[in-house]
């Protein structure tokens, strides 16, 4: 049985995976859904201001230590692609699979800011204008979202090369928001890389909410999700 560590993207907490967790657990797997530092309901302003990408990678590593996990599947949504990449690079071989769920897949020296598109750079800048350290959530969406630490969007990642030794690396492209997605070029890049497997999901960015059965089926290794016509999985190379 697998051990899944689910890491939410910008502005979200562990609740982002609330519809997926029981599906994985029902299949007999162990599941840990994280809320990153600065996104927890009781985090004060100083905690939010100080949190960066390193902080969030350490959140993942502490969870691995606390639960004595040595064979984890890390799943990162959106911004959390940065987090799981940084954590896997530092995890001393404890990660067996990475799943970037419509998420950034950084190279050394890149940041969420440098990897995203102009639309989201404007969202980040406008959202941080009031405080200078926390990016308010975009309008609409789940009311549980919280201001996101700006430093985590800006900090560049430092990768040693250990990330490339994770045996299984996957990218999920959500095709239902092509007017705004920052991941079109990334999808093309990874499809050309034989070390990556690329999957397409016909959903918007919030696939965990829109199609939890399809997301769970993909994580469980099914090529087509029951009840989710149109799900396609394509190997890259």
Residue 90 sits in a domain whose CATH number is: 3.40.50.1820
Q: In what order do the strands lie in the sheet with 232-235?
A: 30-33, 3-7, 72-77, 95-101, 168-174, 197-201, 232-235
How many structural domains are present in the chain? 1
pLDDT tens-digit readout, 145-155:
999 999 999 99
Of 10-24, 114-128, 174-188, 215-229, the poorest mean pLDDT is in 215-229
Does the pLDDT value for residue 61 go beyond 90? yes
By residue range, what is the domain housing residue 191? Answer: 3-235
Nearest one of 13, 5, 22, 32 to 213, comparing CA atoms: 22
pLDDT at 225 over 80: no
Closest residue by Cα to residue 172 from 120, 211, 121: 211
162-196 residue pLDDT tens: 999 999 999 999 999 999 999 999 999 999 999 99
The pLDDT assigned to 235 comes to: 29
Per-residue confidence (pLDDT) for residue 227, from 0 to 100: 35
Does the global pTM surpass 0.85?
yes
| Distance, CA of 172 to CA of 188 (rounded, Å) | 12
CA distances from 60 to 64, 74, 114, 133 (A): 6, 9, 23, 22
Which residues are bridge partners to 201 per DSSP?
174
**Torsion sign over Cα 106, 63, 24, 137:** negative
């Amino acid at each position: 049985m697998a051990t899944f560590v689910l890491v939410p993207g910008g502005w979200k907490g562990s609740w982002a995976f609330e519809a997926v967790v029981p599906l994985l657990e029902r299949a007999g797997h162990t599941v840990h859904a994280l809320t990153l530092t600065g996104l927890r309901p009781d985090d004060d302003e100083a905690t939010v201001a100080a949190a960066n990408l390193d902080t969030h990678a350490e959140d993942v590593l502490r969870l691995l230590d606390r639960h004595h996990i040595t064979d984890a599947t890390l799943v990162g949504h959106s911004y959390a692609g940065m987090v799981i990449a940084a954590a896997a690079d530092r995890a001393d071989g404890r990660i067996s699979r990475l799943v970037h769920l419509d998420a950034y897949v950084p190279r050394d020296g890149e940041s969420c800011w440098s990897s995203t598109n102009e639309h989201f750079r404007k969202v980040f800048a406008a959202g941080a204008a009031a405080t200078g350290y926390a990016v308010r959530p975009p309008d609409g969406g789940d009311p549980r979202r919280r201001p996101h630490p700006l430093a985590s969007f800006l900090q560049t990642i430092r990768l040693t090369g250990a990330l490339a030794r994770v045996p299984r690396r996957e990218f999920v492209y959500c095709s239902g928001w092509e007017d705004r997605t920052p991941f079109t070029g990334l999808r093309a890049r990874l499809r050309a890389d034989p070390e990556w497997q690329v999957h397409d999901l016909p959903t918007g960015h919030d696939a965990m909410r829109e199609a939890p059965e399809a997301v769970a089926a993909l994580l469980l290794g099914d090529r087509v999700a029951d009840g989710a016509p149109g799900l396609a999985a394509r190997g890259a190379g």
